[in-house]
């Protein structure tokens, strides 16, 4: 396997930032963001150089507007239209499929973008056996009736989609359960259907973020803390991977990846990326 060669960061013309474990850490309820060292200064530097950036979280608790507002309270400035969550990607995917009726297992951040986009949305535990798709997101209040509704729709032919399948995410309390991943696994085990991920590292997710940046893939740096998400999305799409160790994965975790899947830059934190760009 070929060794990953790190391109010069001065050639980067746009940036995609993960949130949790990269720019900031929230509490276990994914609220109350606290910026990580260097994040505010790095974004200030990019703005001063007119280098565009988007933030992209696989979290779906908040709508893009709510995410923008929550980050602003921590001093992290990002316009709502540049704050990406997986439901924004789902809107594009579902439109391309011609879907109209969606059964959602999720909080407001999951269903509201679909409603705003004009889809007919049914929120579990209400049944929608005739739904075109089942969509799973952040949903800590789930119960047996929700799982039953999802399985029945899938048995009737509904597509099966999820924001993410990761088992946990980074917070100030360490590992926080990835609820969408747990729900997706439960429904998959009953229906024997594999869910399609619309969040990172899906190609559609990168395409949406890159379109906002209007930058060629090779000039996009994807900055994140998860080897299977941001790092993998970079490698799948010809972008540059900058991995940080301020989330749940450390330097050794990235070093153990196959040579052709190691990040172009493996840094202790976003503050080190700031130093390299200054």
pLDDT digits (tens, 9 = 90+) for 100-141: 999 999 999 999 999 999 999 999 999 999 999 999 999 999
According to CATH, the topology of domain 9-85+200-277 is Rossmann fold (3.40.50)
pLDDT value of residue 96: 96
pLDDT value of residue 6: 78
Stretch (H or E) spanning 244: strand 240-244
Calculate what percentage of the chain has a pLDDT beyond 90: 89
pLDDT value of residue 68: 96
Whether 181 contacts 174, CB under 8 Å = no
Looking at residues 65-69, what average pLDDT do you find?
Answer: 95
pLDDT band, very low/low/confident/very high, at 2 (cuts 50, 70, 90): low
Looking at residues 182-190, what average pLDDT do you find?
Answer: 97
pLDDT value of residue 7: 84
Residue 16 dihedral angles phi and psi, to the nearest 5°: -115, 120
In the predicted structure, residue 1 carries a pLDDT above the cut 70: no
pLDDT value of residue 28: 74
- Tell me which residue of 60, 58, 85, 21 sits closest to 139, measured CA to CA: 60
Is it true that domain 87-197 has CATH number 2.30.29.30? no
Looking at residues 169-198, what average pLDDT do you find?
Answer: 90
pLDDT band, very low/low/confident/very high, at 3 (cuts 50, 70, 90): low
Tens-place pLDDT, residues 31-51: 789 999 999 999 999 999 999
Residue ranges matching CATH 3.40.50.1000 in the chain: 9-85+200-277, 87-197
Tens-place pLDDT, residues 224-259: 999 999 999 999 999 999 999 999 899 999 999 999
- Kindly report the average pLDDT of the chain as a whole number: 94
- Tell me which residue of 175, 47, 55, 65 sits closest to 112, measured CA to CA: 65
> Distance between CA 184 and CA 274 in Å, rounded?
37
């Amino acid at each position: 396997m070929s060794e990953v060669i790190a391109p010069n960061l001065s050639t980067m013309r746009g940036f995609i930032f993960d949130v949790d474990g990269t720019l900031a850490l929230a509490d276990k309820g994914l609220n109350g963001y606290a910026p990580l060292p260097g994040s505010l200064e790095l974004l200030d530097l990019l703005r001063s150089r007119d280098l565009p950036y988007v933030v992209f979280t696989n979290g779906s608790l908040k709508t893009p507007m709510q995410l923008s507002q929550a980050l602003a309270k921590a001093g992290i400035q990002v316009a709502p239209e540049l704050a990406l969550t997986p439901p924004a990607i789902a809107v594009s995917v579902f439109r391309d499929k011609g879907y109209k009726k969606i059964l959602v297992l999720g909080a407001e951040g999951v269903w509201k973008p679909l409603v705003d986009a004009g889809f007919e949305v049914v929120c579990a535990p209400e049944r929608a056996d005739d739904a075109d798709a089942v969509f799973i997101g952040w949903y800590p209040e789930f119960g047996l009736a929700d799982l039953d509704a999802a399985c029945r729709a899938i048995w009737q032919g509904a597509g099966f989609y999820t924001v993410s399948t990761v088992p946990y995410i980074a917070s100030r309390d360490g590992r926080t359960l990835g609820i969408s991943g747990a729900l997706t696994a439960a429904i998959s085990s009953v229906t024997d259907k594999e869910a399609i991920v619309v969040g990172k590292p899906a190609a559609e997710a990168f395409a949406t973020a890159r379109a906002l940046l209007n930058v060629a893939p090779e000039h996009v740096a994807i900055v994140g803390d998860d080897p299977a998400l941001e790092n993998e999305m970079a490698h799948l799409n010809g972008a540059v991977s900058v991995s940080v160790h301020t989330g749940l994965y450390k330097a050794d975790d990235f070093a153990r990846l196959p040579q052709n899947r190691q990040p172009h830059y493996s840094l202790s934190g976003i503050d080190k990326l700031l130093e390299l760009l200054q």
